């Protein structure tokens, strides 16, 4: 009853943990900071005026105009959706036919593979160069007659690194397809390619309120692209798919950029604290980060350290990458204290005998 293509689609991710169980939750790159009571109060006021007995605006005009105002783009170049995830899937679906190819640089956000599988599209992964250099030449060599989209994560998840925008522009200049830049973590890098979509018609930028804005539970993201790309993605959206509450709450958050900056700055300070603490743990190599998480290389089994942390109520992302990499989100100062205590209790010499001998 189910088609073979659908059977091959992997299920949703497994990062969710029920709240209220005391987890130190550092596995999904969420903001550790909730809205303040005053912000909640003001937000309730806005939500109270949403006419729940009427359909919401299917064109999301108010919130898209607000985004246009913030980015300096025309509203025809903005599309709002249910998180960057919905937008990314629409970008894949609106550019590719079954059997087409999407190019990306690996390792990256694994959900790109899921969106490709959902659309019977082949994901072609080009590895990062040495020290995670952008593999411009290799990407160009991987372009085939079936390549319809290049999907780039900038800064990249899970490596956390930012690579030069000029290399992305050079790629966009050379390929005959759309280049979509996923800027889910762009607010932390203080760097965006949003301006480029004005002058480069085959570029698109995807952004979200899930990270620096601290609203992963809201499910709001948006696309910035040429009017033609936006129109095609909009045509594939479920009618009335973006609820009136979501539109109102997104408008509320976007109209308070200072609150976002305060939370982002607290997370950036937290990242320094996290990097300092991790840097003191024997056997861990911490990579530089332009995001709200850090990539850590372990001298022995990452599985063993992940199990140790989970047993102490600490969730990090086990990347299953050579069994040597974990990704740890920036948490609150209290989260970092609990993480540090758990790391200090990890007996590396016992769990990682080879490392214990050498190191």
Ligand X SMILES: Cc1ncc(COP(=O)(O)O)c(C=O)c1O
Instruction: Quote the tokens at residue 77.
Output: 């170049």
By CB under 6 A, is residue 210 in contact with ligand X? yes
Shortest distance, CB of residue 85 to ligand X, whole angstroms?
Answer: 3
Residue 86 or 352: which CB sits closer to ligand X? Answer: 86
Terminal-to-terminal C-alpha distance of the chain: 56
Among 31, 85, 159, 318, the residue binding ligand X under the rule CB under 6 A is 85
In the numeric block, which tokens belong to residue 16? 């969710």
Query: Which of 56, 83, 107, 160 contacts ligand X by CB under 6 A?
Result: 83
Please check whether residue 289 is in contact with residue 160, taking contact to mean a CB–CB distance below 8 angstroms: yes
> Considering only residues 27, 104, 157, 329, which one is a binding residue for ligand X as defined by CB under 6 A?
157
Identity of the residue, 155 or 300, whose beta carbon is nearer to ligand X in the bound complex:
155
Q: Which residues inside 14-73 make contact with ligand X, applying CB under 6 A?
A: 29
Cα separations in angstroms, 169 against 30, 199, 259, 348: 29, 11, 32, 44
The torsion angle over the Cα atoms of residues 48, 51, 56 and 60, rounded to 10 degrees, is -50
Interface with ligand X (CB under 6 A), residue total 13
**Binding window for ligand X (CB under 6 A); candidates: 55-63, 208-216, 281-289, 339-347:** 208-216
C-alpha pair distances (Å), 97 with each of 101, 146, 147, 149:
9, 9, 10, 11
Q: Which stretch binds ligand X (CB under 6 A): 83-91, 94-102, 260-268, 296-304?
A: 83-91
Q: Which of 216, 227, 304, 349 binds ligand X (CB under 6 A)?
A: 216
Helix (H) or strand (E) holding 41: helix 37-48
Considering beta carbons, is residue 182 or 335 the nearer one to ligand X? 182
Stretch of 53-61, 80-88, 136-144, 298-306 contacting ligand X, by CB under 6 A: 80-88
Among residues 56, 113, 186, 221, the one that binds ligand X under rule CB under 6 A: 221
Binding residue for ligand X, selected from 121, 153, 224, 305, defined by CB under 6 A: 153
Instruction: Please answer whether residues 263 and 209 qualify as being in contact, where contact means their C-beta atoms are separated by less than 8 angstroms.
Output: no
Our measurement of the distance from residue 271's CA atom to the centroid of its chain's CA atoms, rounded to an integer in Å, reads 17
Query: Which residues on adjacent β-strands are paired with residue 79?
Result: 223
With contact defined as beta carbons under 8 Å apart, do 161 and 153 qualify?
no
CB closer to ligand X out of 119 and 210 = 210
**Whole-angstrom Cα Rg for the chain:** 21
**Chain residues 90-149 in contact with ligand X, contact rule CB under 6 A:** 109
Binding site for ligand X (CB under 6 A): 29, 83-85, 109, 153, 157, 182, 184, 208, 210, 216, 221
């Amino acid at each position: 009853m189910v088609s073979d293509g659908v059977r091959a689609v992997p299920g949703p991710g497994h990062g969710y943990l029920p709240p209220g169980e005391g987890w130190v939750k550092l596995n999904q790159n969420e903001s550790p900071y909730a809205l303040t009571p005053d912000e909640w109060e003001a937000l309730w006021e806005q939500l109270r005026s949403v006419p729940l007995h009427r359909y919401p605006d299917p064109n999301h005009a108010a919130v898209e105009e607000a985004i246009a105002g913030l980015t300096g783009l025309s509203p025809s170049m903005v599309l709002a959706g249910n998180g960057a995830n919905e937008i990314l899937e629409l970008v894949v679906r609106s550019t590719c036919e079954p059997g087409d190819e999407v190019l990306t640089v690996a390792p990256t956000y694994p959900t790109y593979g899921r969106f490709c599988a959902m659309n019977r599209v082949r994901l072609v992964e080009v590895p990062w160069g040495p020290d995670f250099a952008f593999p411009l030449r290799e990407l160009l060599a991987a372009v085939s007659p079936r390549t319809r989209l290049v999907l780039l994560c900038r800064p990249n998840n899970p490596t956390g690194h930012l690579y030069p925008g000029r290399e992305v522009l050079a790629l966009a200049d050379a390929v005959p397809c759309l280049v979509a830049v996923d800027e889910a973590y762009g607010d932390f890098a203080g760097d965006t390619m949003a301006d480029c979509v004005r002058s480069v018609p085959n570029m698109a930028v995807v952004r979200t309120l899930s990270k620096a804005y601290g609203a992963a539970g809201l499910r709001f993201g948006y696309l910035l692209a040429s009017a033609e790309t936006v129109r095609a993605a909009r045509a594939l959206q479920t009618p009335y798919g973006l609820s009136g509450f979501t539109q109102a709450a997104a408008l509320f958050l976007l109209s308070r950029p200072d609150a976002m900056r305060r939370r982002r700055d607290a997370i950036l300070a937290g990242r320094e604290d996290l990097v300092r603490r991790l840097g003191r743990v024997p056997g861990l190599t911490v990579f530089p980060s332009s995001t709200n998480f850090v990539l850590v290389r372990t001298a022995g089994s990452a599985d063993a350290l992940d199990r140790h942390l989970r047993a102490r109520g600490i969730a990090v992302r086990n990347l299953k990458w050579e069994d040597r990499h974990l990704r740890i989100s920036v948490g609150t100062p209290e989260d970092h204290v609990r993480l540090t205590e758990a790391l200090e209790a990890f007996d590396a010499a016992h769990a990682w005998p080879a490392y214990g001998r050498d190191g």
